[in-house]
Structure 1
Amino acid sequence: MNEWLSELGMFLAQLLIVAVVVALALVMVVRARSGGGEERSQIRLEELNARRRRRSRRLRLASSEPSVRKRLAKSFRRDDKARGKQGDAPRPTVWVLDFHGDFKASATGKLAEEVSAVLDAAEQGDEVVVRLESAGGLVHAYGHAAAEMDRLRQAGLSTTVCVDKVAASGGYLMACCADRLRAAPFAVLGSIGVVAQLPNVHRLLKRHDIDVEVLTAGHYKRTLTVFGENTEEGRQKFLAELDTVHDLFKRYVAERRPGLDIEAVATGEAWHGTEALPRGLIDEIGTSEAYLAERMNDARVIALSIQARRGLAERLGLSVSQGIERSVERGVEALDASLWQKR
């Protein structure tokens, strides 16, 4: 029995080695064929009008009596034929972009490419809707993201930002670039302020007779440090730099929303949508889905997204990772179910 198990183990090990060799060979073949000329990103377009029409028809069919469904399906086909013969009347296009921001505004590069794509394709009368969600983050990162948003306005395109959850601090810096700003009733907006914090362990190190030397060239090269002893002069200089950034923030928002009482709202506070409206932080209350559904009545609404193209090895790794994750989830569910059965 032990000998049989040993042979089986050897066979499985050899099989695994062969599988790995074959996988590596496939990766090398794919890379050789691509020749390094394949684009690293791909553009995805979806007409939301068509998606809404398909869903509406499915619901109508599901809610109809069986005897009516066949006749209803025929009427849908007739409508499609008639639309194909007549052709759609010229209508403006609403381009929909999405921005989900983290602390470093990592999606800014993707946004920049999408803005360039829209500027290349948009025509007079088109609109750009940005569904934005961000609680802010690094000043320079969100300054870059806001500059990309400004490109739409500078090109003369009508822009609308829809905030369903949050556009605070750096997120609001981006949102104020739009011609119109719309937010859900409980969305969080504002937080026009600047914050910085860092720990200082100088006293702890001193207690253990550990010296840290901070060497700089330039009087204000390092105002506050984590390990060295901070001075009142350095602290005041750091606060002055924060005030400078805050003034830039206020000026940027005030230029794009001239009717806003900037001194009243630039306190670092955040407000929900219904509170932000009377303060002039937004122009109207409503969700992005409701706005896009309204625009579908007189325009083609197209969602545009540029995504990084994954290589074969990356896709294989992602599939394995997702498989392991699903197996763990099923194991946890089975364990949970067994615990309930024992009670």
Structure 2
Amino acid sequence: MDVIRLPDRLASRLPGRLGERSERPVVSMVRLHGVITATTGPVPRSVINSVAVEKTLERAFAPERLAAVALLVNSPGGSPTQSALVADRIRGLAAEKGVPVLAFCEDVAASGGYWLACAADEIFAHPTSLVGSIGVISQGFGLDGLIERFGVQRRLYTAGTSKSRLDPFLPEKQEDVEWLRDLQDQLHEMFQQWVVSRRGDRLHEGAELFTGEVWTGARAVELGLVDGLGTARPVLGERFPDAELVPVEGRKPLLARLGLAPPAAATGLISTDAVLGVTEAAEIRALWARYGL
């Protein structure tokens, strides 16, 4: 009987035996690229969050002959909560399937991006990758002077003394700054605990790893933040020589797959969503720019 072999991309989307091209073991390769945020983002698949990657992760861990899952991480970070949710989901699936997870840091695996990398059992990086930034950052603008200059009055009504903390249109209050710093300290401690729980005694003793500093991949190996230098295909090919490397990609929205979702400019209209999209794109660009990317 003739055996029909399916293309990698089609095979990776099918469950069970339908998704297996041969008797060879499979290593699923999942790309985690973008800023980590709960919002969907102005560009499809430009962000990482628990909803956006759920189906991709499920397909990645689905093959019956799964030997390992590789995470290709390229992220400057973002939401601590979404970082934790995605990482926890990866660990849950890895435990359920009983397979190792390897992470490969590309341009940058910083802040929340490094949180994701720590979901792997082993982490690899290119010598030029930017790795680390184990810290917490908050940023904003003070616009109270601007609205005063233009004669604009801010009218704000609240029930609860803490409802208007850090309002950009009001003068900054020291008590609000202290509250924010306490919140940052709590999140920073959680980040440190996660890294220590995942990296353990591989971390270099005595090194100041949790200052928010960023290192090259080469230096990150010396500090124990990364296990070795290398990129996905060479490392996986050596580690799993008989395995088939199968990229598992997220799906585009249905209208985009059908070519029925023209850009807003094509309609001659500028919607509120389009304006918000530009704002979100600027914020995303700023996160990448912090690492010269």
Code of the aligned partner of 1:294: E
Specify every segment of 5 or more residues in structure 2 that has no aligned partner in the other structure, as ranges. 1-7, 13-21, 39-46, 267-293
1:132-151 correspondence to structure 2 within 5 Å:
132-151=73-92
The 3 A distance-change label for structure 1 pair 284 and 238 is same
1:255-334 correspondence to structure 2 within 5 Å:
255-259=197-201, 260=203, 261=205, 264-295=208-239, 297-308=241-252, 310-311=254-255, 314-316=258-260
Compute the RMSD of aligned alpha carbons. Answer: 3.0
The whole-number CA distance in structure 1 between the counterparts of 2:243 and 2:208 is: 38
Q: Deviations over 1:27-48 (max 9, x none)?
A: xxxxxxxxxxxxxxxx93469x
Equivalent residue, structure 2, for 1:162: 104
Deviation at 1:201, TM superposition (A): 1.8
The whole-number CA distance in structure 2 between the counterparts of 1:142 and 1:92 is: 29
> Aligned to 1:101, which of 24, 27, 34?
34
The 3 A distance-change label for structure 1 pair 171 and 134 is same
Deviation at 1:298, TM superposition (A): 2.3
1:197-276 correspondence to structure 2 within 5 Å:
197-259=139-201, 260=203, 261=205, 264-276=208-220
Q: Deviations over 1:33-73 (max 9, x none)?
A: xxxxxxxxxx93469xxxxxxxxxxxxxxxxxxxxxxxxxx
State how many pairs are aligned: 238
Specify every segment of 5 or more residues in structure 1 that has no aligned partner in the other structure, as ranges. 1-42, 48-87, 323-343
**Preserved CA contact (<8 Å) 1:181 1:284:** yes
**Preserved CA contact (<8 Å) 2:102 2:121:** yes
**Preserved CA contact (<8 Å) 2:131 2:214:** yes
Code of the aligned partner of 2:179: K
> Does the residue aligned with 1:245 lie in a helix, a strand or coil?
helix
**Preserved CA contact (<8 Å) 1:164 1:288:** no
Deviation at 1:195, TM superposition (A): 0.7
Percent of pairs identical after alignment?
Answer: 28
**Preserved CA contact (<8 Å) 1:158 1:179:** yes
Q: Which has the higher helix share?
A: 1
**Which 4+ runs in 1 deviate beyond 6 A?**
none
The 3 A distance-change label for structure 1 pair 207 and 137 is same
Deviation at 1:184, TM superposition (A): 0.6
The 3 A distance-change label for structure 1 pair 215 and 318 is closer
> Does the residue aligned with 2:254 lie in a helix, a strand or coil?
coil
Q: Does 2:128 match 1:186?
A: yes
**Preserved CA contact (<8 Å) 1:194 1:246:** yes
TM-score, scaled relative to structure 2: 0.71
The whole-number CA distance in structure 2 between the counterparts of 1:313 and 1:161 is: 29
> Does the residue aligned with 1:131 lie in a helix, a strand or coil?
strand
> Does the residue aligned with 1:160 lie in a helix, a strand or coil?
strand
